[in-house]
Amino acid sequence: MRKRELKNIEWSIGIIAIILCIIGLVALFSATQETEYDEFNKQCIWLVVSLVIGITIMLIDYKSIVRISPILYGAFIILLIAVLFTSPVNGATSWFDIGFFSLQPGEFAKIFVILFLAYTITKMQARDKKNINKPIQLFIILAILALPVFLIVKQPDYGTAAAFLIAMIFMLITAGIDKKYIIGATILIVVAVPLMYNFILPEHAKKRIDIFLNPESDPRGSGYNIIQSKLAIGAGGLTGMGLLKGNQTQLGFLYPKTTDFIFAVIGEEMGFIVAGTIIILYVLLITKCLYVAKTAKDETGALIASGITGIFVFHMIENIGMVMGLLPITGVPLPFISYGGSSLITNFICIAIILNISSKRQKTIFVK
């Protein structure tokens, strides 16, 4: 990487990601003392692995990765099919158990679907800038997304599937999709949601929505986790109860406290100040990623940065929203903070690609 490119890199994005990881490790240390810090130790290892992979990806021109994105897309479609035949974990066939590591192909697929969508949209726009608004072209884009989303819903993993949709929306807006499609899609969603609830969603998915609307209706069953989460956050107050001192966290009432509900652990033991700081850090991260998308050297870079931003936006809002009882529980991890090797590696690959895109930006030349 050349000196000029190093100067262009939006280093603040990487710094924010590292700070979030450090906060996550502190929370994991406190949340895993009864298991002799097993998940904390593993997360430290995955952080090192993620950094090595991220630095490697950052040194590769993102255009080179985009060129092979059709192959990578196809490979992960095969993995998403294969994972459906594995043994269920917590009711979902989302992981390959490799012994020392559980690989979740749905996490990595987010990256390669975004890259392939950027590749496809760029090819379309190269022939005609208005191609994106032609029904047949739009159908092709939706078909590219529909296949992995369908396979992930079959696992079932509705949270990850929703992340794909948000990423696509960000990318289509960046590509200049006509407002009529946005209005039409909004109307379709408004009509489709009640129909899906009544006729399509399985019972366990309906139950999650019912519990979200009224968790007290089943306080010892499906509503238990969200009630304990809100109690934990409320008990933390301004400065928290202190590390290793949270009642809900340390007495085992909060579950799963290292993944889905890690933000509740932070709220209880570190308080509103740290929890609020995390939200501010995410807002800064998302803002910086959008800035990279806006200033990208080419349309491909802008599309990729927009898609990755959409992933971060969805994960942040959904995870924090669900632990506070503002959104239904979907099992979506909190980026850089929740425990999980696949999630952490995926997030750092996303950061590396964003930094790579930012390095290729040209300085503005002002002519007097």
- Is 40 within the bounds of a domain? yes
Does a structural domain hold residue 189? yes
Q: What percent of the chain has pLDDT over 70?
A: 96
**Residue 45: domain span:** 3-359
Asked if residue 367 belongs to a domain, the reply is no
Residue whose structure tokens are 């490799």: 98
C-beta separation of 361 from 295 below 8 A: yes
DSSP line for 237-264: TTT-S-TT--HHHHTT-STTTTTTTHHH
Task: State how far the Cα of 153 lies from the Cα of 167, in Å rounded to an integer.
Answer: 16
Does residue 36 form part of some domain?
yes
The answer to the question of residue 365 being in a domain is: no
pLDDT digits (tens, 9 = 90+) for 219-276: 777 788 889 999 999 999 999 999 999 999 998 888 889 989 999 999 999 999 999 9
Looking at residue 368, its pLDDT comes to 34
Predicted confidence pLDDT, tens digits, the chain (368 residues): 677 777 888 999 999 999 999 999 999 999 998 888 889 999 999 999 999 999 999 989 999 999 999 999 999 999 999 999 888 877 788 888 877 678 889 999 999 999 999 999 999 887 766 678 888 888 999 999 999 999 998 888 888 899 999 999 999 999 888 888 888 888 888 888 788 777 777 776 777 777 777 887 777 777 888 899 999 999 999 999 999 999 999 988 888 899 899 999 999 999 999 999 999 999 999 999 999 999 999 999 999 999 999 999 999 999 999 999 888 888 899 999 999 889 999 999 999 999 999 998 764 433 33
Q: Hunting for tokens 């001192």 — which residue is that?
A: 245
Q: Does residue 105 have a cis peptide bond before it, meaning omega lies within 30 degrees of 0?
A: no
The pLDDT score that the predictor gives to residue 203 is 74
Residue 118 domain-assigned?
yes
Residue 186 covered by a domain: yes
> In Å, what is the CA distance from 281 to each residue of 24, 286, 302?
13, 9, 22
- pTM: predicted TM-score of the whole model, two decimal places: 0.91
Question: DSSP letter string over 276-314?
Answer: HHHHHHHHHHHHHHHHHHHH-SSHHHHHHHHHHHHHHHH
275 in a structural domain:
yes
Number of domains making up the chain: 1
